[in-house]
Amino acid sequence: MMPHGPDGPRLDVRRINSSAFRIARRGTSREINRLISLNLVREKQPISRADLARLMGLRPGAVSLIVNDLLRSGLVFEGAKGVSKGGRRPTQLYIETRRRCSVAIDINASQTSILATDLLGGALMDVSEFPTGRQPKPFVKELGGRVEQILADHPEFGDCIGIGVVVSGLVDLRGGQLKYSPTLGWRDVDLVGPLSAITKLPVSLENSVKACILAQVWAVSGDSPMDGPVAFVNVSDGVGVGIAVDGKLLRGAHNIAGEFGHVPLNMFGPICSCGRRGCLEAYVSNRAIIARYLGVDSSWSGLPPAGPVTVEDIIARARAGESRALETLRETGYYLGQGFATIVKSVDPSRIYIGGEITEGWDLFASMVRDALRERALIREGGETEIRVVGLSEHPRLRGAAALVLTPAFAAPTVA
């Protein structure tokens, strides 16, 4: 089901724009039309052959040939009859999600989350969480065992086609290694090899926030942006930023494009997890928020990972009217807006998504984010860049991990 290159799963996938596509004509690949059909079924299901033919501008017979191929491959199945528009009731087409699954894993500094999904990214279970171990080797062994147990306990999920793993840090896609994670304190850790050896499944690895923007670009419902740049900012134990341009991830020469969390706001500011001073992360991460509330040094070395309060506690206290908590969030929002301004000046996104624990209190400080963005913008339009909240309940990192496994089957073909 999933196309592979010489070095493993294709992760640099580009989405087909199902509202602005060109049908392949004579002399071009039939595979393009097949993928367009598959994506239309994915996004508009249930859909009939007649509606597919109308949307694609092809003869019904040509579409039937494509659909029959998709049915034989097991990617699509025929479901209930639709409403007749005159004549026989049409048979509706759906993406086949009933016999296969994927496993999504999000490795964060404090905890690791696991979720099994169907082939459209729909959750098949409640999220399973456990503390992230400090030592990589025993941690990966425990992780593999947990994945095996989940699949063994739930045969109804069907065959697992792969595991998607997201982690905060710099990732070597070709080697399947985590090169460096400041928040985890890990360097040159092989995550793909050992996990694949334990589970006997293909494993795809990606930076967690790059995966978050991938999940938004590939969203089945909603107005997923296709043209131009979009950004995802995740505020948690650290601060990560993912950028997509025209539906494809922006990586750079060394896969470090978008590291705005480590762009300094103040070169004399608090020490960040990366060891340098004044980074955006040192001002708006969960640790920084807690330090600001407690009135202690917000340098990475100045506060233990588990403090006497959590970001959730601070948000709850702010909602209850505590002025110190509210001021902490508003000040954090102002710094976050400065970070957004840097992103806007760098890539000029049409939309910025924001995720992480801080989003639960977004209404309390959103005005400060906007004020700072307007203040630092070069032109008025930059200060009005759309900001969209992705709440914790949407599990954006896990959705991104699932997308690593699921999207290649729907991706636009590469042209040599």
**pLDDT tens sequence across 172-185:** 887 888 998 888 88
Task: Tell which CATH classification among 2.60.40.10, 1.10.3210.10, 3.30.420.40, 3.40.50.2300 matches the domain 226-392.
Answer: 3.30.420.40
Sheet holding 91-95, edge to edge: 47-48, 91-95, 76-81
Predicted model pTM:
0.78
Boundaries of CATH 1.10.10.10 in the chain? 4-96
Which segment, 32-41, 226-235, 364-373, is predicted with the most confidence on average?
364-373
288-319 pLDDT, tens digit each: 999 999 988 766 555 555 568 999 999 999 99
Q: Please confirm whether the linkage preceding 308 is cis (ω < 30° from 0).
A: no
pLDDT number for residue 49: 87
Is residue 348 classed exposed, middle or buried when 0-12, 13-18 and 19+ CB atoms within 10 A define those classes?
middle
Round to whole Å and give the CA distance between 329 and 368. 9
Domain 100-213+398-406's class?
alpha beta
pLDDT of residue 325: 97
Checking if the pLDDT of 409 tops 90, the result is no
For the chain, the average pLDDT equals 85
Confidence category of residue 22, pLDDT binned at 50, 70, 90 = low
pLDDT score, position 17? 56
Measured distance CA(224)–CA(209) in Å, rounded: 17
Tokens 């528009």 belong to residue = 85
Task: Give the residue, 330 or 39, on which the prediction is more confident.
Answer: 330
For CATH 3.30.420.40, the residue range(s) in the chain are: 100-213+398-406, 226-392
> Given this model, what pLDDT does residue 2 score?
44
CATH topology (fold) of 4-96:
Arc Repressor Mutant, subunit A (1.10.10)
